[in-house]
Amino acid sequence: MTYAIYFFCRIDNENVETLCDIISKVINVGATKIKLLLASHGGKVQAAHTAYEFLKKLPVPLSIYNLGVVDSAANIVYLAADERYAIGNSRFMIHEIIWSFDTPIETIKYDDLIWIANHLKLQNKLFLKILKKRTRIHKNQIRKDITKGNKTISSAEAVELGFVTKVIPESQVLDDSDIVNNNLMHYPSTTISL
């Protein structure tokens, strides 16, 4: 039985933990395939890597659908599936990994800056590795594109670059069995019951 899971939110530890929990639950009740319906402006890169590794190791087939926007860290999550779809007007945005502070900082020590720089270097290296492995974008083109700022990619261009398996009409995202069997899981949501 196929389960469709909406994930329309920021990529962070809490949301990724909930996503992994929902997927584990649907697999435990008999899911034979997962459709992840994704729309996200990104978020925390470490959380995206956690989701990527979890999704890559699922014991059932996974397909991921871009339902409008997959930006920044959400690309890492998106690239976890072998079957990747996008609706016609969707887009992707990639950029170099950046560091954002959760609170205003008045002072910072030199050692902390070195740690942040090394962390950014590692995260960029991991992102480039995923892009190289999971797309047809040449390594030199990836570096050129992401180091000069934000790169927006249309769904049609994403097919050419190997980001997307196929562009599909929105009407093909869910089939009748997804709706009839009520296998639609929404996150974030106030109630999720299985």
Please spell the DSSP secondary structure of 46-68, one letter per residue: HHHHHHHHHHHT-SS-EEEEEEE
The CATH classification of domain 2-187, taken from the options 3.40.50.1860, 3.90.226.10, 3.40.50.720, 3.40.50.300: 3.90.226.10
pLDDT at res. 21: 92
Q: What is the pLDDT of residue 66?
A: 96
What per-residue confidence (pLDDT) applies to 146? 61
The whole-angstrom separation of Cα 66 and Cα 8 is 10
> Which residues of the chain fall below pLDDT 70?
102, 139-149, 175-194
pLDDT given at position 190: 34
Tell me the three state secondary structure of residue 19.
Answer: helix
**CA proximity to 7, closest of 194, 106, 119, 21:** 21
pLDDT for 150: 78
Q: Return the pLDDT at 119.
A: 84
The token pair that represents 159 in the structure block: 């097919």
Model pLDDT, residue 38:
94
**Residue 189: per-residue pLDDT:** 43
Report the pLDDT value the prediction gives residue 51, as an integer from 0 to 100: 97
Which class for 54: exposed (0-12), middle (13-18), buried (19 or more C-beta within 10 A)? Answer: middle
Task: Classify 115 in phi/psi space as left (phi over 0), alpha (psi -120 to 50) or beta.
Answer: alpha
Rounded distance between C-alpha atoms, residue 79 and residue 81, angstroms: 6
Q: What is the pLDDT of residue 188?
A: 47
Triad 27, 32, 35: Cα angle to 5° = 85
CA distance 128 to 143: 8
| Predicted pLDDT at 186 | 52
Q: What is the pLDDT of residues 78-134, one digit of tens each?
A: 999 999 999 989 999 887 777 777 677 778 889 988 988 888 888 888 888 888 888
- pLDDT at residue 183 in the model: 46
Sketch the domain layout of the chain as residue ranges: 2-187
Q: How much is the pLDDT for 130?
A: 86
Q: What is the pTM of this model?
A: 0.84
